[in-house]
Amino acid sequence: MKSSLILATTVKYIIPLLLIFSFFLLLRGHNEPGGGFAGGLVAAAAYALYAIANGVEEAEKFLSIEPLKLFSFGLLTALISALLPLLAGKPFMTGVWLDNKIPVIGKLGTPIIFDVGVYLLVLGVSTKIIFSLAQEEE
Amino acid sequence: MEVILVIVIGVLYASGLYMILRRSFVKVIIGLIFLGHAANLLIFTVGRISKGIPAFISIEGTLAENAADPLPQALILTAIVIGFGVQAFAIVLFKRAYQTTGTDDLDELNTTDELIQ
Amino acid sequence: MLYAVVAGFIFAIFFPAAVRINKQAGKIAAAVLPLGIFIYFASFYNTITEGNVIAQSYNWIPSLGINLSFYLDGLSLTFALIISLVGFAVFLYTASYMEGNKYITRFYIYITLFMASMLGLVLSDNIITMFVFWELTSISSYFLIGFNHDKERSRIYALQALLITGGGGLALLAGLIIIANISGGWSISSLADLNELITGHKHYPIAAILVLIGAFTKSAQFPFHFWLPNAMEAPTPVSAYLHSATMVKAGIYLMARMNPSLGGTDLWQHTILIVGAVTMLFTAMLSLKQTDLKKLLAYSTLGVLGTLTMLLGIGSDLAIKAFMIYLIAHSLYKGTLFLIAGIIDHETGTRDITKLGGLRKLMPITMVIAVLASLSKMGIIPLIGFVGKETVYASALEFEPFGTLLIILAIAANVFIVYITIAVGFKPFFGKLKPTPKEPHESPFKMWFGPMILALLGVVLGMFSSVVINSLINFTEIGVINKKLNIPVKLWHGFNLELALSVLTVLLGVLLYFKRDNIVNTLNKISFTKYVKPSYYYEFLLSSTLSFAKFQTKFLQNGNLSNYAAMIIVATIFLGGLALVSFGGAPNIDLTFAPTFAEVIIGIILILAAISAVRAKSRLTAIVSVGVVGYSVALIFIMYSAPDLAMTQFAIETLTVILFVLVIYRLPKYLPFSSMTRRIRDFILAGLGGLLMSLIVLFIIAEPMTSELKKYFGENSLTIGKGRNIVNVILVDFRALDTMGEIAVLAIAAIGVYALLKLKSNGSEK
């Protein structure tokens, strides 16, 4: 599915912005509107746009990781974040936080890791669905 | 202000139900989407709405008395995303059925058991 | 005690692994387990016979009052000892009997599971816990009867046993819950003191009858008796263990256990007495036509179960004593005889008594054991069976005003039992040697050792009954009639009426044995209508249930999606409407907030878009309209302070549109399929549904609401969750487990999409 040159060129500049925005949404989600779900969906939309402009194969290359692996990894990340408190001797899924703030990210704790897992999973699931369907049509 | 939402919910439910009763599967999928919206708005409305005060904790560390209730919002948020997954699955499922059987008339799809045999 | 019960369950889990390591060791361990449990419970003997009880409790679902409570008194100790001892004999026996069976591991798992459940059943002090174990015994019995699952008969009869005992179990549960409601507690031992409260309650009759149905089905009382002979399809160790010594006595145990709390009324005593007496005589008579060793034994078991029930129904002190002695005696000799029948079957290849004879020289040890058990069963001095029968007769005799009737019934039933015993215990060993399908020789040690112990115990308990079981029985009676008896158990009561009747019984039994063929010939000439057989009604009920299910499936699940949807909608409108009507009154609508211009516009756009999607003739129009609806919903979220929702909704809507754009050209064209009448029908249904939902929302928001949760999240979101965005904190911290589930579902949906598409490409390759 090749599209117009205008779209392709526009997308080239918009995509990085969208991806940065999605990352921004993920990180600030704990205190401002955003979070893993919204961030992951925005990123997925960016890749979907890319796929419409340049074709699925290009988009897959651009993503550079198989979406199936991506969402498995996301699920695993979320699971690990839930298991981490066990190491600290706390019940499953208790939020554990580092005392010191880290630049850019802010406070780091297992809920943030969990949110990153959600982000990766949502991105992986959405791209998987859209790429499979698009491939089907080609 | 709730009155508008009440009417909107009613219309969304009615059109969703009507669409889900159709025989063409594209319409059924649209019906599913509408029912999803309707259910989300229903939860949203019965959780009481508030205007202009989102559920954020202020700098002073308190939540405003008349702020929105965060719990229904959290429920709806996941419901929206799950709804998307269900939609995608339904689209693919119907598409496959269409490709296999050559019809999208759901009335004709009631003998799948025999087809497999 | 928890460990003694749980040991079996743990064993069943680890047994397959153990067998893989070492097969022999696994089997030995399986026999050691019940022996260990037996020794464990035997160690309580002194404590219990000194008049103590032991109670232990572990929390299970404390909020519902359901605990793993165990209670050891004379009654449960007696049962626990029987279960573990017969278990030991059976497990040892199985190692040899099931040798070479492909599914032997599975067999051990089922039977250990059963033993553990049975122990749990007799030791439980909590009504619900007891019920759970009760059902577990039914289920393990189902697996064991159907163990030879390649035989159709096994499967049919396994199902029959499960349906009857399981159905009875449901009645029992209902009865027990009513009793718990009346008494206000779940502890069985505390019920004993509440007899007056329970029997005086207006719901008592229904509770008592439900409990009795449970007990009667489990213990195969008339008219539910027919599943037991059919259960003989199970391998012999199962018949010996479950269907004579233990499981079928669960119903008897239940009646005995509930006797102090539910008993004493005419309803209870008379029902039990009559059902027991009918079962005793009727089933013993049915044995006459049988020639199969195991079937014969099954009918005599039924006769004994009837007798035990009848004794409870008589309810006098002497009857309760007879009940306990007879119970112990029966478990010992009947288990033995079943195992002997299994040995004969195993060694000769047939269970048909007409084809067996003269095995005494070839199988001397088996013969001795069989004769010992048979003598006990026939009630010959000095075995425990003698003590048992003497006491049964004595208690039947003293029952006023129907003592004469009862004793005649009891003697008649026992004549048949003597007949069965001769046929099973003597016939195969004496007389002329008959050719059998297999060359018979003495069974291996593992097979005869267990039955020998049981048979010898029958002798020891009989000869020294005043010493060994006297005190145990005296304390058991506390469990049954809530008072301690001091009627000593004695072997020899002197020359009295009971002894004379015993002799008469044996003589008549021998006579019956020799006259059997004549009687059967006469019986065969009389044809009974099928309507007399209770099993006819079972089959009728089963087949009607199946045909109803078939009809209902055809009617309700006809494969038509819109029919399903229509049915759900109609039901929802009906039930929801009913609820609204019963709620009554008009909602107090708060109209103080006039909608702003923007709100009205968005509302109108949304409604128009929805209508346009419904009315669209082309796919493109429909999809654009769907998109407009979605974005309008997002705008609503923005207006009413839900920025997170709005953002998610925008993103999702974009993806949905992309999804549709990707597939749209492959989507089938819009065609007007439906007729006008159907559209009108659907329009009315949908309209009513929409109206109902609107009304529901109106009613709800008219009520005041204070959200405790909102307050909680407001206070704790920053301190505990370290976040200001409460919605997000809920998602990733407070309710993270839910989110975990949600994302797992998403992953599954994606895999489903992928698999469906992949499947197609594979399909086209073919």
Q: What's the pLDDT tens digit per position in C286-337? A: 888 888 888 888 888 898 899 899 888 888 888 888 888 888 888 888 888 8
DSSP run (H or E) holding C117: helix C104-123
* Interchain contact, C662 vs A79, CB within 8 Å: no
Residue B14 has pLDDT above 90, yes or no: yes
Is residue B95 pLDDT above 90, yes or no?
no
Q: Which residue has the tokens 């005793």?
A: C280
- 8 Å CB contact of C750 and A37: no
Query: pLDDT > 70: what percent of chain A?
Result: 93
Residue numbers of B between 33 and 92 with CB closer than 8 Å to C: 33-34, 37-38, 40-42, 44-57, 61-63, 67-71, 73-74, 76-78, 80-89, 91-92
pLDDT at C592 over 70: no
Those residues whose C-beta lies under 8 Å from the C-beta of residue C258, and which sit 6 or more positions away, are C191, C211
Rounded CA separation C747/C459 (Å): 68
With beta carbons less than 8 A apart as the criterion, state whether C633 and C606 touch. Answer: yes
Judge whether C476 and C74 are in contact, CB under 8 Å: yes
Rounded CA-CA distance C66/C57 in Å is 10
- DSSP per-residue letters across A126-137: HHHHHHHHHHHH
Count of CB atoms situated within 10 Å of the CB of C265: 16
d(CA A21, CA A15) in angstroms, rounded, equals: 10
pLDDT at B115: 44
Domain that holds residue A117: 5-137
Residue C466 predicted with pLDDT over 70: no
Subunit partners of chain A (3 or more CB pairs within 8 A): B, C
H/E run at residue B17: helix B2-20
Residue C507: its pLDDT value, please?
Answer: 85
- Interchain CB distance below 8 Å, A37 and B77: yes
Give A46's contacts in chain C (Cβ within 8 Å).
none
CB A88 within 8 A of CB A78: no
**Separation of alpha carbons B25 and C623, rounded Å:** 13
In whole angstroms, how far apart are CA B58 and each of A111, C644, C712, C715?
21, 17, 15, 11
Chain B residues whose beta carbon lies within 8 Å of the beta carbon of residue C673: 22-24, 105, 107
The residues near C580 (Cβ < 8 Å, ≥ 6 apart) are: C692, C695, C696, C699
* pLDDT 10s digits, C327-352: 888 888 888 888 888 888 888 888 88
Closest CA to C363 of C433, C423, C421: C433
- The two tokens of residue C353 are 């008594």
pLDDT of residue C170: 93
Residues of chain A found within 8 Å of residue B78, distances taken between Cβ atoms: 37
Range with the largest mean pLDDT of C557-571, C670-684, C725-739: C725-739
Buried b (16+ CB within 10 A) or exposed e, C602-615: bbeebbebbebbbe
Residue contact C645–B38, C-beta within 8 A: no
How many angstroms separate the CA atoms of C250 and C38, rounded? 18
* Nearest Cα residue in chain B from C692: B10
Residue A35 distance to chain B (closest CA, Å)? 11
Mean pLDDT over C558-585 rounds to: 85
Partner-chain contact A44 C720, CB within 8 Å: no
**pLDDT for res C96:** 82
Q: How far apart are CA C134 and CA C246, in angstroms?
A: 12
| CA atoms of C670 and C615, how far apart (whole Å) | 11
* CA distance to partner chain B, nearest, from residue C635 (Å): 12
Amino acid at C172: L
Contacts of B77 in chain A (CB under 8 A): 37
Rounded mean pLDDT, A65-81: 91
Cβ-Cβ contacts under 8 Å, A95 against chain C: 720-722, 733
Phi–psi pair at B11, nearest 5 degrees = -65, -45
B-contacting residues of A 27-86, CB under 8 Å?
31-33, 37, 41
Give the residue carrying structure tokens 């009954």: C465
Q: How far apart are CA C505 and CA C166, in angstroms?
A: 37
CB-based contact B81 A33, cutoff 8 Å: no
Residue B116 confidence (pLDDT) = 42
Residue C742, both tokens: 């949600």
pLDDT-derived band at C482, boundaries 50, 70, 90: low
DSSP structure class, residue C443 = P
Q: Distance of CA C203 to CAs C187, C200, C206, C313, C358, Å?
A: 19, 9, 6, 21, 59
- When divided into structural domains, chain A yields a total of 1
Q: What is the DSSP letter of C124?
A: B
Average the pLDDT over A47-73 and give the result.
87
Which CA distances in Å does C56 have to A49, C1, C122, C188, C454? 67, 7, 14, 13, 30
pLDDT in tens, C651-709: 999 998 888 877 766 667 777 667 888 888 899 999 999 999 999 888 888 877 777 88
Neighbours of chain C (3+ CB pairs under 8 A): A, B
CB contact under 8 A, B15 and C645: no
How many residues are given for chain A? 138
Return the number of other C-beta atoms located less than 10 Å from residue C558's C-beta.
Answer: 11
Mean pLDDT for chain C overall: 84
Which chains form contacts with chain B, at 3 or more CB pairs under 8 Å? Answer: A, C
Is the separation of the CB atoms in C387 and C325 below 8 Å?
yes
Which of A108, A125, A127, A131 would you mutate first to test chain C, the one with the most C CBs within 10 A?
A: A125
Dist CA C627 CA C636 (whole Å): 14
Give residue-wise pLDDT tens across range C177-234.
Answer: 999 888 887 888 888 788 888 888 888 999 999 999 999 999 988 888 888 888 888 8
Side chain identity, residue C253:
Y
Best-predicted range by mean pLDDT (A64-73, C189-198, C313-322, C381-390): A64-73
Residue A109 predicted with pLDDT over 90: no
> Residue C579: its pLDDT value, please?
87
Residues 88-107 in A contacting C (C-alpha not used; CB under 8 Å): 93, 95, 97, 107
| Residue of C717, C737, C746 best to disrupt the A interface, most CBs of A under 10 A | C746
Looking at the partner chain, which of B81, B88, B92 has a beta carbon nearest the beta carbon of A37? Answer: B81
3-state secondary structure C271-285: HHHHHHHHHHHHHHH
Token duo for residue A128:
């998987």
Specify the pLDDT at position C135: 92
d(CA C215, CA C257): 11
CB A34 within 8 A of CB A42: no
Question: What DSSP character marks residue C101?
Answer: -
Token pair belonging to C221: 């009382």
Token pair listed for C146:
């159907």
Tens digit of each residue's pLDDT (9 = 90 or more) over A44-55:
999 988 888 888
For C145-149, C468-472, C595-599, C722-726, which range has the lowest pLDDT when averaged over its residues? Answer: C468-472
Token pair of C733, please?
A: 């911290």
Residue in B56, B77, B88 closest to A129 by CB: B88
Q: Which of C595, C600, C726 sits opposite B57 (nearest CB)?
A: C726
Q: For residue C217, which amino acid is it?
A: T
Asked if C647 lies within 8 A of A82 by C-beta distance, the reply is no
Mean pLDDT in residue range C558-584: 85
**Among partner residues B17, B53, B95, which is closest to C685 by beta-carbon distance?**
B17
Q: CB-side exposure of C690: number of CA atoms within 13 Å? A: 27
Among A41, A114, A129, the residue with its CB nearest the CB of C750 is A129
Q: Does B84 touch chain A (CB under 8 A)?
A: yes
Residues in chain C: 766
Domains annotated on chain B, with CATH: 2-51+68-116 (1.10.287.3510)
Provide, rounded to the nearest whole percent, the portion of chain C with pLDDT above 70: 92
Size of interface A-B (CB pairs under 8 A): 16
Whether A114 sits inside 8 A of C648 (CB atoms) is: no
**What type of residue sits at position C490?**
K
| Structural domain boundaries in chain C | 330-525, 527-557, 559-587+672-703, 593-667, 706-766
CA atoms within 13 A on the CB side of C199: 17
Cα distance between residue C315 and residue C226, in whole Å:
26
Taking CB atoms and an 8 Å cut-off, how many pairs form between chains B and C?
281
Using alpha carbons, list the distances in angstroms from residue C173 to C222, C272, C419. Answer: 21, 19, 39
Of C655, C658, C724, the CB nearest to A31: C724
pLDDT at C560: 77
Per DSSP, helices labelled H in C616-735 are: 619-639, 643-663, 676-702, 708-716, 726-729
What is the tens place of the pLDDT at every residue in C603-652? 999 999 999 999 888 888 888 899 999 999 999 999 888 889 999 999 99
Give whole-number Cα distances, C251 to A20, C259, C324, C468, C733, in Å. Answer: 71, 12, 14, 26, 51
Residue of B nearest to A41 (CA): B81
Q: What's the whole-number mean pLDDT along residues C576-598?
A: 75
Give the range among A28-42, B53-67, C56-70, C144-158 with minimum mean pLDDT.
Answer: C56-70
State the best of B40, B77, B78, B84 to mutate against chain A, taking most chain A CBs within 10 Å.
B84
With cut-offs at 50, 70 and 90, classify the pLDDT of residue C528. low
* Residue C356 CB partners (closer than 8 Å, separation 6+): C293, C344, C348, C350, C427, C428, C434, C436
Which helix (H) or strand (E) is C509 found in, with range?
A: helix C497-525
- Bridge partners of A97, per DSSP, are A109
Q: Is B88 on the interface with A (CB under 8 A)?
A: yes
pLDDT in tens, C101-160: 778 888 888 888 999 999 999 998 888 889 999 999 999 999 988 888 888 888 888 888
Of C271 and B48, more confident: C271
Alpha-carbon gap, residue C393 to C496, rounded angstroms: 11
Q: What CA–CA distance (Å, rounded) separates C601 from C609?
A: 12
Helix (H) or strand (E) holding C56: strand C54-61
Q: Which residues from B are below 8 Å from A41, CB to CB? A: 81
C152 or B101: which leads in pLDDT? C152
Q: Does C75 score more than 80 pLDDT? A: yes
Smallest Cβ–Cβ distance between B92 and the set A32, A41, A133 belongs to A133
pLDDT of amino acid A1: 47
What's the mean pLDDT in B36-62? 86
C336 and C455 Cβ atoms separated by less than 8 Å: yes
pLDDT of residue C764 exceeding 50, the answer is no
Place of tokens 């097979």: C447
The pLDDT of residue C555 is above 60: yes
The residue among B81, B94, B96 with the most chain A CBs within 10 A of its CB, best to mutate, is B81
User: CA C488 to CA C473: how far, in whole Å?
Assistant: 9
A129 in reach of chain B (CB within 8 A)? yes
Give the per-residue pLDDT at C486: 62
Asked if C742 and B81 count as a contact pair (C-beta separation under 8 A), the reply is yes
ipTM at complex level = 0.92
Residue tagged 């006469």 (tokens): C522
Contacts of C608 by beta carbon, 8 Å cutoff, 6+ apart: none
* Widest distance between CA atoms in chain A: 57
Judge contact between C556 and C668, C-beta under 8 A. Answer: no
- Of B67-76, B106-115, C446-455, C683-692, the least confident: B106-115
Q: B102 in contact with A at a CB cutoff of 8 Å?
A: no
Please state, in angstroms and rounded to a whole number, the distance separating the CA atoms of residues C590 and C526.
Answer: 83
- Before C223, cis peptide (omega within 30)? yes
Is the per-residue pLDDT at C468 higher than 90? no
Cα separation, C572 vs A111, in Å, equals 40
Select from C46, C34, C118, C111 the least CA-distant residue to C76. Answer: C118
Contact B56 A32 (CB under 8 A): yes
* Residue among A38, A79, A109 minimizing CB distance to C722: A109
N residues, chain B: 117
Phi, psi of C565 (to 5 degrees): -60, -45
